[in-house]
C-alpha cells in the first residue's frame, strides 16, 4: 500500500491537548506501517517550522513524531514529506531528523500503473485565473501569492533564521494560530467544481495534455474525491487534526479515501 496524508499542523496553539494530537498521528502511522511501501505527507505536518542558525530547543516537542518517521524508514518504508505554506522553512534539518525525503515542489510519480500528481496545493491555480475569477477573488489570490513570494525570499529567510528561536517561534506560532482560529470559526467548505481552485488547476492540466490518473492535494482541509470528464480524479486529503482523513493506493492502482478511528481501526470514508 501507498499512503497519503496531510495537514496535521503539529504544535498549533489552536489545537488543545497537543501531546494527544501527536500521539494519535503516531498511532495512525503505526497502523499504516503494517502494509505500507511508501508514505507521502503532503505538507503542513507542522503548524510552524523554521530552522534557525541557533539551536532551537523547542523542536524537542516533535521528537516522538520524528522518531516514528525514522523507525518507518528503518523498516524499509519510503517516507516523503512535502513542505506546505506553514512549514516551508526547512534547510536540511527536517530530513536529518526524520530520515524522510523532503520535497519542496509538486511531484509526479508512477505507481502500480497509475500516474499521480502530488502537491500540498497552495498557490496552484488554472492558467486563466486572472480572467476566470471576479475581482474580489483575484484580490485575495494576489495577496496570497504576494505573501508566498515574501516567505520564499532567500534574503528574508536568512534574516529570520538569525533571530533567537524564542522570538521567531513566538511570531510564527501566533501567526499560525490566528489562521487556525479564523478557519475554525469560519470554515471554507467545498466551493464546487467550477470554483474550487485545485479542481480548476487539475482541469487545466488535463486540458493542456498533462494527463494524470490522480491529482492528490492537501492544504484545503476538506475531503474530496472527484472524477473529471477525462477520467482523472482529484483527491483532497482533508486533515489530521479534525477530520483525520487520508488516502491509500493498493497494488491494483485503486485509490480510496479513509477515516482514522482508533477505537475501531481504520474505516473507509463514504
Least confident of 7-11, 42-46, 175-179, 196-200: 175-179
101-103, strands of its sheet edge to edge: 101-103, 78-82, 38-41, 2-5, 245-249, 255-261, 265-268
Give per-residue pLDDT as tens, 106-156: 999 999 999 999 999 999 999 888 888 888 888 888 888 898 899 889 999
The mean of the pLDDT values for the chain is: 93
Residue 14 pLDDT greater than 80, yes or no = yes
Residue whose grid cell is 485545485: 198
Q: Above pLDDT 70, what percent of the chain?
A: 97
Range of the domain at 178: 2-268
- Position 269 confidence tier, pLDDT thresholds 50, 70, 90: low
Question: From CA 101, how far away is CA 239, in angstroms rounded?
Answer: 21
| pLDDT score at 270 | 42
Give the CATH number, domain containing residue 209: 3.60.21.10
Sign of the dihedral defined by the CA atoms of residues 52, 54, 60, 61, in that order: negative
The pTM is what? 0.94
* Residue 266 confidence class, pLDDT cut points 50, 70, 90: low
Q: Which of 92-106, 122-136, 152-166, 237-251 has the least mean pLDDT? A: 122-136
Q: Tell whether the model's pLDDT for residue 268 goes beyond 70.
A: no
* 78 burial type by CB count under 10 A (0-12 exposed, 13-18 middle, 19+ buried): middle
- Compute the average pLDDT of residues 173-201: 87
Per residue in 26-66, pLDDT (tens digit) is 999 999 999 999 999 999 999 999 999 999 999 999 999 99
Answer whether residue 202 shows pLDDT above 50. Answer: yes
Domain count, the chain: 1
- The pLDDT assigned to 35 comes to 96
pLDDT at 182: 77
CA-CA distance, 153 to 85, in Å (whole number)? 13
216 touches 42 (CB < 8 A):
yes
Amino acid at each position: 500500500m501507498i499512503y497519503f496524508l496531510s495537514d496535521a499542523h503539529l504544535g498549533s496553539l489552536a489545537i488543545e491537548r497537543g501531546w494527544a494530537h501527536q500521539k494519535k498521528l503516531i498511532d495512525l502511522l503505526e497502523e499504516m506501517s503494517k502494509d505500507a511501501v511508501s508514505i507521502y505527507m503532503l505538507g503542513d505536518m507542522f503548524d510552524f517550522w523554521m530552522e534557525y542558525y541557533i539551536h532551537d530547543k523547542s523542536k524537542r516537542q516533535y521528537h516522538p513524531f520524528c522518531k516514528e518517521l525514522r523507525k518507518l524508514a528503518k523498516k524499509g518504508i519510503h517516507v516523503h514529506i512535502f513542505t506546505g505554506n506553514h512549514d516551508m522553512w526547512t534547510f536540511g534539518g527536517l530530513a536529518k531528523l526524520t530520515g524522510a525525503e523532503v520535497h519542496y515542489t509538486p511531484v509526479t510519480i508512477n505507481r502500480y500503473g497509475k500516474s499521480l500528481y502530488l502537491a500540498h496545493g497552495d498557490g496552484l491555480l488554472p492558467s486563466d485565473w486572472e480572467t476566470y475569477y471576479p475581482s474580489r477573488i483575484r484580490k485575495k489570490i494576489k495577496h496570497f501569492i504576494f505573501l508566498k513570494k515574501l516567505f520564499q525570499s532567500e534574503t528574508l529567510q536568512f534574516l529570520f533564521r538569525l533571530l533567537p528561536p524564542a522570538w521567531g517561534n513566538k511570531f510564527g506560532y501566533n501567526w499560525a494560530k490566528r489562521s487556525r482560529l479564523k478557519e475554525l470559526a469560519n470554515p471554507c467548505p467545498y466551493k464546487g467544481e467550477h470554483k474550487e481552485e485545485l479542481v480548476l488547476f487539475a482541469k487545466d492540466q488535463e486540458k493542456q495534455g498533462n494527463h494524470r490518473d490522480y491529482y492528490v492535494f492537501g492544504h484545503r482541509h476538506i475531503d474530496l474525491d472527484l472524477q473529471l470528464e477525462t477520467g482523472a480524479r482529484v483527491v483532497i486529503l482533508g486533515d489530521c487534526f479534525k477530520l483525520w482523513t487520508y488516502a491509500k493506493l493498493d497494488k491494483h492502482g485503486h485509490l480510496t479515501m479513509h477515516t482514522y478511528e482508533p477505537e475501531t481501526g481504520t474505516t473507509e470514508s463514504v
